[in-house]
Structure 1
Amino acid sequence: MQLIGVLILFLSFSAASGLRCYTCYTTEPSNCTFILTCPDGLDRCISAKVNDLITKSCVPRAACISPIKCCDKDLCNGAVPTGPGVTLLLLSSALMMLFI
C-alpha cells in the first residue's frame, strides 16, 4: 500500500515540475547544455536556426510558426545530428550478433 502512495507522489511531482527545455543562443549546437524549467504559460520547447545563430528556449504554443521547430516533451529540443557514426555502430553490432 505504501508503494502505491510513493508512486502517486512521484507521478504528481513530475507533472507539477513543468516542462524542461534546453536554452541557449549560440553558433555551436554542442554548446547548448543549460536546462531551464519553463515558467507558467510557456508550454513548448523551441529550436530555431537563423543564419548561423541557433536559438533554443521555452515559448507559448502560439509562437510555433515556421521556421521555428516546436516540441512538448522534456528536453526535446536538444538533439544534435549524430551522422553516420550511429549507423556504423548498429551495423557492427548486428554483425557481431550474427557470429556469436
Structure 2
Amino acid sequence: MQLRGVLTILCTTLSVAYGLKCYTCDPINTDCTKTMTCPTLLDSCMSLNVNGLITKTCTTGSLCVSPMKCCQTDLCNGAIPTGASVVLLLVSSAIITLFL
C-alpha cells in the first residue's frame, strides 16, 4: 500500500517537472506540427482561429476566454481528424453493393 502511494507521488511529480506539451504556431510560423514544453506557470494549451489565422501555444488556464479554446493534456490543441469513420465506409459500401 505504501509503495502505491510513493509511486503515485513520484508519477505526479515527474509529470509536473516535465511540463505540459502543446503544439505551437502563429500566423507567421504556420507549421502547427511543432511542439513545445510549457514553462511551469503555463498550465494549458491554447488554440485560436481568427479569420483563418491560427495561433497555438501554451497559456494559463485562467486567461482562457472565448474565442480561445484551452485544454490541459499533452498535445491536446492539435487538429481533430476529420476522415471518414470505418462504420461510415462499411455502410456506404454495403448500400452501393445492394444497388449495383
The TM-score, its normalising length taken from structure 2, stands at 0.68
Cα distance in 2 between the residues matched to 1:65 and 1:81: 24
1:68 deviates by 0.2
Which of residues 71, 82, 87 in structure 2 aligns to 1:90? Answer: 87
Structure 1: tracts of 5 or more residues without a match: 96-100
- Normalising by structure 1, report the TM-score: 0.68
Structure having the higher Rg: 2
Deviation at 1:43, TM superposition (A): 0.5
Report if aligned partners of 1:26, 1:32 keep a CA contact under 8 Å in 2: no
1:86 is paired with a residue whose SS is coil
CA RMSD of aligned residues (A): 2.9
Match of 2:80 in 1: 80
Deviation at 1:81, TM superposition (A): 4.2
Q: How many positions carry a matched residue from both structures? A: 86
Moved over 4 A (4+): none
1:98 is matched with none
CA distance in 2, matches of 1:36, 1:93: 39
What is aligned with 2:15? 14
1:67 counterpart letter in structure 2? P
Percent of aligned pairs sharing the same letter: 48
Shift of 1:93: 5.5
Q: Distance in 1 between matches of 2:17 and 2:91?
A: 41
Which amino acid letter does the alignment assign opposite residue 86 of structure 1?
A
**CA distance in 2: counterparts of 1:59 and 1:50, whole angstroms:** 17
Cα distance in 2 for partners of 1:86, 1:48 equals: 25
